Structure 1
């Protein structure tokens, strides 16, 4: 049980904090001096600190508190906004947002989770850079279909070759960082032992879902957004569908799921059974994606590689 809950709205220059125990609010600088002042302002050590991710602006603050052993709760901004609307708080300021986050953490009794370390933050930055390059590559390939002038074709080809070189360099750097850490290297080896899971997929699971191996199977599927959401009201029962979760993880699992339906005997049998039962291909593939994330979670939890 937490003795107190503090909501913190984080911006580039400031930290706006609200403490539930006495209702006091205060602004701090988002720098080393401000972080020290915030720690001195904390009334009790058993405090839950609730905040939203703000790109690079929350990382130094998060790391300082994590090193101090505080219970940190990083909430989804969309969920926080919906909570504010549900409680009738339509106005939005930094101070009001801090108070809303504190109230959300206390009323919902939000559970603290481990934060990313510096290594995972570096890997996440590399992963985001890689995603941007993949989008640029797709755009360049689409442009190439409509170009007619030789000079534009040449420039587009040069751009594509440069993107490929940059992608290769980033993937080498990601692999280098993972192999340099014994725990991440072991997780990588376990993941790529699963038929259909490539190095790129393993990168995504390690970086975007570091909780894998510590979750219940249903939690893993839900966190990836692969658990069907039931819809029922009175006598009406709607079709269940997936929603929410981490889109990057789902995207990374789509191609491995397709490969698994051909080369993983267990999952191929499962896929064929779903198709024989009349399920649409998309529904059957989603079910295989869910089984893959559950399988990865189980193997990482048991510290063993895949075996038939």
Structure 2
């Protein structure tokens, strides 16, 4: 069984290995490197950006260390609340991403040093684009290794949901409920990706750094949501841009309950998640609103005070059903 410390070491290991690869390569080639180094390469492969060897090493090491620390902290924090073998299975996605990221950078940084070796003028250094293909292959292989090291998925055992109940409302009384929830995990990962992408765009290549930076900005924008329950059903939307918007109408909901959910152990991560027979917007662990849909599937949203939201939804569903029954009687 994976203990929190072991889970943390599994995630931190590839970043430590990548740091060792960078330092070893630099130590071996130190006397063969020009000053400054060629560190930025466009699609043509010919260097168009330069920095001192010291700056390049410090930036490379800092980038790997920060990302390793972020991943390790996320896994360690999740591991404290893991339930049995489920923590082993849910570690796989995080491990695959961490190993893939470290494999990509662990190849590109030493490759940049090797490209500079024994070149008198850094302006003549070239890093062909096939090197990027090799780096991506290394990333895929490393991701597969992380997936295997994390262990096999185990069948989840859900926390029991509380009995559904209703919010007492008088006839003709109108009510709505809304809360905002923010994922500190997605916010932290988004900021880390955005910063790492910006550094890579300036030090290595825009083709590598810009996509990572864009992913980071998107993660930051989608790191929170507003959850609203009213006569239309359940509506979930980002608190700032308001789009994309997700709505589950009352007609699709059979009943609502609430329970405690672990993002990492129950859904394998954060964000919009899909599992067999269930889906949901999981921005953090904790209290969650759980909807049993007319299709037999479940939709989950993690949000504070989910019990009140579930009670209001059950009341609104009951009202809608009564009105539908009343119209049927009148029509007959």
TM-score by length of 2: 0.24
Question: Larger Rg: 1 or 2?
Answer: 2
The structure with the greater share of residues assigned to helix is 1
Greater relative contact order (Cα 8 A, min sep 6): structure 1 or 2?
2
TM-score by length of 1: 0.25
The structure with the greater share of residues assigned to strand is 2
